[in-house]
Amino acid sequence: MDQRHETLDDLRLRLAPALARAAVFDGWSDAALDAAAADEGVDPALARLAFQGGAMDMIAALVQRIDADMEARFADGSLGNMKIRERIRTLVWFRLEALRGVEEAIARALAIQAMPQNLGRSLALGWSSADKMWRLAGDTATDYNHYTKRAILAGIYAACLAVFVQDDSMAKADSAAFLDRRIDGVMRFEKAKARLLGGAGTPAREHFDLARFLGRLRYPQS
């Protein structure tokens, strides 16, 4: 892109990877922003203008950059021949792989996102990323499944991210196994839900507690 015509949104996306690298050492701070600007040849004053919202603006830019990279990577339809389980696994793993080498920065980001004043924006970012993953996976649901699928996937991704940043196993094998277990749990749930919805009597929705289910995904018993 011609940087003479770069918008502030474009600039935020361009600086995001360098910001994450700098945040490993300096946290999501002005010092990290100045380092990222220097790496990318950007006027520090312009970088400060682009990130007036501070740390959450920086973290949001990284999430949005990964969203954009994911959409670009899978725009070729390469997911089309996979089963839905493998599509979702591939998309989640792509996002996790994008964070290799900056785990310390992501651990700090998760702590910032968990602050009460940031929860609303953090949830919105997670929902948006989950929506993009489902759309790339070919989901066309428009009923309540549209919402439950995104809520569940956002919970899976958040849980996997928390494991990934602490994982020192070879090739992140523990994270990969954790992701597989969470997806297996969802597939079992979807099959059970389909059976319930196909039966008579009390609607299945009255038996399904989404908050409880997400809690089990994030804090599994095993």
Which tens digits make up the pLDDT trace of 154-205? Answer: 999 999 999 999 999 999 999 999 999 999 887 776 677 667 766 544 444 4
HSE-up of residue 34 (Cα within 13 Å, Cβ side): 5
User: What is the average pLDDT across 144-155?
Assistant: 90
Average pLDDT, the chain: 88
Look at residue 94 and tell me whether its pLDDT is greater than 80.
yes
Query: If pLDDT is split at 50, 70 and 90, which confidence band does 206 have?
Result: very low
Q: What is the pTM of this model?
A: 0.84
| Identity at 20, one-letter amino acid code | A
Q: Between 122 and 219, where is the model more confident?
A: 122
Domain boundaries, the chain: 81-218
Q: For 96-147, how does the pLDDT look when each residue is reduced to its tens digit (9 = 90+)? A: 999 999 999 999 999 999 999 999 999 999 999 999 999 999 988 888 788 9
Residue 103 CA to residue 60 CA, distance in Å, equals: 16
Q: Are 131 and 150 in contact (CB under 8 A)?
A: yes
How far apart CA 123 and CA 60 sit, in angstroms, is 11
- Residue 209 has what pLDDT? 52
> DSSP string of 123-151?
HHHHHHHHHHHHHHTT----SHHHHHHHH
CA distance 128 to 134: 10
Nearest Cα to Cα of residue 106 among 157, 149, 151: 157
- For 51-59, the CB contacts below 8 A with 24+ separation are 51/12, 51/15, 54/28, 55/27, 55/28, 55/29, 55/109, 55/112, 56/112, 56/113, 56/118, 56/121, 57/12, 58/16, 58/19, 58/23, 58/28, 58/32, 58/33, 59/28, 59/109, 59/112, 59/113, 59/125
pLDDT above 90: percentage of residues in the chain:
74
Higher pLDDT, 49 or 139: 49
- Give the pLDDT confidence score for residue 205 in this predicted structure: 45
